Chains A and B, each alone.
Chain A
Amino acid sequence: EVQLLESGGSLVQPGGSLRLSCVVSPTIFKTFPLTWVRQAPGKGLEWVSTISISGLSTYSADSVKGRFTISRDDSKNTIYLQMNNLRAEDTAVYYCMQVPLWGQGTLVTVSS
C-alpha cells in the first residue's frame, strides 16, 4: 500500500517556481511530522524542511530559507513544498518522508 506519494517534479528554468505535493495515507497523516528530503545527483541525503502535526511549526534548512515554503492541507492529507527562485543547485530528487516511511521521490531539474 502506497503511504507517501510525491508529484510535481519537472524541468524548470533558473529563477522559476515549482510546487511539489505529497499525498499521505489518512491513517498516518497526523502521527508524526512530515518532511521533505532531497538528494542531488550522485550525492547524499539532505534535509530540506519539516512541518509539525498541527501545521503551526515549520523548519527549513538555511540553504532554502526564504525561497521554499512547506505547508499542509489536512482536508486532502497532503503536504506541499512551494519552491521559488530556483537555482541549479536545487536540482535533486525530492522525497517526502515521515519517520519511518519514505515516498518514491520526484525529480526536480533546474536548468536553462
Chain B
Amino acid sequence: DIQMTQSPSTLSASVGDRVTITCRASQTVVKWLAWHQQKPGKAPRVLIFESSSLESGVPSRFSGRGSGTEFTLTINGLQTDDVGTYYCHQYNAYPWTFGQGTRVDI
C-alpha cells in the first residue's frame, strides 16, 4: 500500500499568512493526487485534483504543486473561512490512501 504522510499535523497561522502543507508518498503516485478540505461537521470537498488542477469554485488563493512522491498545498493569504482539516489523497493505485490530515487554525 502507498503510505501518505502529511506535515505538519497541526498549523496555527494568522489571517493573511502564506501557509504550506506537505504530503509525501511512499512510492510514486505520478500526478494522481488530490487535496481535500473538511470543515467541522461538514463533508469534505476537493480543492485540488491531479496535483495542481483547481476545482471549480475554489478560491485562487489555493494552489497545488508536485509530482511523483512530493506534493504541496499552499494557501496564499489565509482567511478565517479556511479553518478546517486538510487531507491529501492518492488515487494512482488501489488501495487509495489518504494522509492523516493537517488541522489549520487561525
B89 touches A45 (CB 8 A): yes
User: CA of A59 to CA of B95 in the docked complex: distance in angstroms?
Assistant: 8
B-contacting residues, A71-112, CB 8 Å? 95, 99-105
A99 touches B43 (CB 8 A): no
Name the CB-closest residue of A to B35: A100
Chain B residues closer than 8 Å to A44, beta-carbon distance: 87, 98-101
Number of interface residues of A (CB under 8 A): 17
With A45-B89, A47-B95 known as contacts, the answer to whether A102 contacts B100 (CB < 8 A) is no
Chain B residues closer than 8 Å to A61, beta-carbon distance: 95
User: CA of A45 to CA of B102 in the docked complex: distance in angstroms?
Assistant: 12
Question: In this complex, which of A95, A100, A102 has the most chain B Cβ atoms within 10 angstroms of its Cβ?
Answer: A100
- A107 CB to closest chain B CB, in angstroms? 12
B44 touches A99 (CB 8 A): no
B94 touches A100 (CB 8 A): no
- A19 CB to closest chain B CB, in angstroms? 21
- B40 CB to closest chain A CB, in angstroms? 11
A99 touches B95 (CB 8 A): no
A35 touches B96 (CB 8 A): yes
Chain A residues closer than 8 Å to B38, beta-carbon distance: 45
In this assembly, does A1 line the interface, its C-beta being within 8 Å of a C-beta of chain B?
Answer: no
A-contacting residues, B47-92, CB 8 Å? 49, 55, 87, 89, 91
